């Protein structure tokens, strides 16, 4: 048997558990669930969200799905569960009438129906959607909970009951209207093993796992396989978070050690040269950050539907903008404490790294820390160095960046990207209006890092100090602890519904 592909992480404390091997040793059974319902009720959105697959075609036009399509879920290259998108019911009244009149064996009910109606276009959808059920798939029946129960719905429920297959009903709550919720639940309890309210457009990871855990209970024979599926999902999630923490650590190393260098002939003015290298430095840092954020999106399978993040979110503000630095990073008091640990520079002037902007958050620091003010002033966040070269001309360099707040802004932006990605259901195709951001007081930060404990900030600061010193051994030691801090933060993010800025 082919073994599961392992992560490239090789630190003992971070080795991901081999997810698939134990699953395959016990059973080759891959659970399949056919997602059924009336046209335009949200079946495809449910498939896309549960399967984390943004390639599922979703359309507001009823009847777009005319053929069954299986969407396998693979982890470490191995398939562990399948969700099958199906057409909507086409002729439920006539189908139910035939099934109630059927006097053959239960086992052959569906195959007999399909043989009898395969050439009748009025039953094309029913013949198609019965295909996965006939081969033994469990049933997930999806309805739009924002409308009342109709006669056709009761017919479809009875048809599915007559199949005898394990079945769950999902009330796809597209809005906040709960007027018809109780009526739907009452109807479903008559015909289904389990009932769940599930918004396929807003469901986060925890809600997807909760739904899978409900599926586990719909049939005793399916329980062992589904327990393993759920276990694999949970461990895969931990492995993904560990990989994100690694990406953030790599981002910090690259950005804190980055330097932009250009060589000029004598005729290039010093002022022009500085501005050009400054612009190059900013562009290269932004490119490094963008690449890291793209990696985070790919980890959570946001591959095809590449819509921009909310335009009013701070994540879409330029990295070196006034608003970004006022909203994210550490407060004045936290910056002073962090600088004391790291020996870094907060900096009053940001001319070279922030396009000439000088923010009140930095210029007011000196007065806040009293006698230590001289320590924080007089150095640029990313200094420009001009060095003559032997054959004439000179070399201009900008960086590495020594500002204490810079890495915390990077961390906040990466965690905001993570928060958006994990809370973005794959079945969704638009972003909400998040509202405009307000400029906050320097002591009232809106990111994640400012809420860390002093212990967490010290671990981070020692890691950052080692990076800046170029001490790879010490950086590696503190990297392990830094990953632990980031994992704790990500666990809180994934378990909450806090506002994402």
**Percentage, residues of the chain above pLDDT 70:** 73
Mean pLDDT score, 16-43 = 69
Q: Does the predicted TM-score (pTM) go above 0.85? A: no
Element at 397 (helix H, strand E): strand 394-398
Distance (Å, whole) CA 16 – CA 9: 8
pLDDT for 446: 79
349 has pLDDT over 90: no
| pLDDT, greater one: 363 or 321 | 321
pLDDT for 360: 32
120 has pLDDT over 80: yes
For residue 35, the cross-strand partners are: 85, 140
Q: Which two tokens stand for residue 476?
A: 């590696």
Domains of the chain are: 31-218 (3.40.50.300), 259-494 (no CATH)
Residue from 359, 344, 378 nearest 468 by CA: 344
374 has pLDDT over 50: no
Mean pLDDT score, 381-396 = 63
pLDDT for 176: 60
pLDDT for 95: 96
Q: What is the pLDDT of residues 214-264, one digit of tens each?
A: 888 888 888 888 999 999 999 999 999 999 999 999 999 999 999 998 888
- What 115-122 contacts at long range (C-beta under 8 Å, 24+ apart), as own/partner pairs, is 122/90, 122/91, 122/94
Asked whether the beta carbons of 212 and 170 are under 8 A apart, the reply is no
56 has pLDDT over 90: no
pLDDT for 70: 92
186 has pLDDT over 90: yes
**Percentage, residues of the chain above pLDDT 90:** 42
Asked whether the beta carbons of 187 and 154 are under 8 A apart, the reply is yes
Q: What is the pLDDT of residues 423-447, one digit of tens each?
A: 776 655 555 444 444 434 445 677 8
Q: What is the pLDDT of residues 131-168, one digit of tens each?
A: 999 999 999 999 998 899 999 999 999 999 999 899 99
373 has pLDDT over 60: no
pLDDT for 344: 54
Asked whether the beta carbons of 475 and 238 are under 8 A apart, the reply is no
pLDDT for 108: 92
Q: What is the pLDDT of residues 473-497, one digit of tens each?
A: 999 999 999 999 999 999 888 866 4
For the chain, give the longest Cα–Cα distance. Answer: 98
pLDDT for 435: 41
pLDDT for 348: 34
- The pLDDT mean for the chain works out to 78
């Amino acid at each position: 048997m082919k073994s599961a592909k392992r992560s490239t992480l090789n630190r003992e404390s971070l080795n991901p558990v081999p997810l698939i091997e134990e699953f395959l040793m016990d059973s080759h059974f891959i659970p399949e669930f056919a997602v059924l319902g009336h046209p335009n009720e949200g079946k495809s959105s449910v498939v896309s969200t549960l399967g984390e697959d943004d390639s599922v075609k979703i359309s507001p036009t009823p009847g777009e799905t005319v053929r069954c399509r299986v969407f396998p879920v693979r982890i470490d290259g191995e398939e562990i569960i399948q969700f099958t998108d199906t057409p909507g019911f086409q002729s439920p009244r006539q189908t139910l009438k035939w099934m109630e009149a059927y006097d053959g064996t239960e086992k052959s009910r569906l195959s007999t129906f399909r043989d009898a109606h395969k050439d009748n276009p009025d039953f094309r959808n029913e013949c198609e959607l019965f295909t996965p059920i006939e081969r033994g798939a469990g049933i997930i029946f999806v309805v739009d909970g924002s409308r009342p129960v109709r006669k056709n719905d009761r017919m479809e429920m009875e048809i599915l009951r007559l199949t005898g297959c394990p079945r769950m009903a999902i009330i796809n709550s597209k809005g906040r209207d709960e007027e018809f919720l109780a009526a739907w639940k009452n109807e479903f309890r008559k015909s289904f093993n389990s009932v769940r309210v599930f918004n396929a457009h807003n469901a986060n990871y925890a809600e997807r796992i909760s739904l899978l855990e409900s599926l586990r209970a719909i049939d005793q024979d399916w329980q062992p396989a589904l327990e393993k599926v759920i276990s694999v999902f949970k461990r895969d999630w931990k492995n993904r978070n560990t990989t994100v923490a690694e990406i953030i650590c790599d981002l910090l190393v690259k950005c804190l050690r980055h330097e932009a260098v250009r060589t000029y002939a004598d005729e290039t003015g010093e002022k022009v040269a500085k501005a050009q290298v400054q612009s190059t430095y900013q562009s290269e840092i932004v490119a490094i950050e963008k690449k890291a954020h793209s990696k985070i999106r790919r980890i959570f399978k946001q591959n095809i539907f590449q819509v921009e993040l909310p335009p009013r979110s701070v994540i879409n503000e330029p990295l070196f903008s006034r608003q970004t630095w006022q909203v994210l990073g550490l407060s004045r008091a936290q910056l002073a404490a962090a600088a004391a640990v790291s020996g870094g520079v907060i900096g009053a002037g940001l001319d070279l790294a922030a396009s000439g902007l000088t923010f009140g958050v930095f210029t007011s620091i000196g007065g806040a820390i009293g006698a230590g003010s001289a320590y924080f002033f007089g150095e640029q966040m990313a200094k420009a160095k001009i060095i003559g070269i032997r054959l004439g001309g000179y070399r201009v360099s900008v960086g590495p960046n020594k500002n204490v707040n810079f890495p915390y802004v990077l961390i906040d932006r990466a965690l905001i990207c993570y928060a958006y990605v994990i809370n973005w259901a794959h079945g969704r195709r638009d972003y909400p209006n998040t509202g405009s951001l307000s400029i906050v007081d320097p002591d009232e930060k809106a990111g994640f890092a400012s809420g860390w404990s002093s212990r967490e900030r010290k671990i981070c600061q020692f890691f950052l100090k080692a990076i800046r010193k170029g001490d790879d051994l010490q950086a590696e030691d503190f990297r392990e602890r830094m990953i632990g801090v980031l994992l704790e933060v990500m666990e809180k993010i994934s378990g909450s519904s806090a506002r994402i800025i």
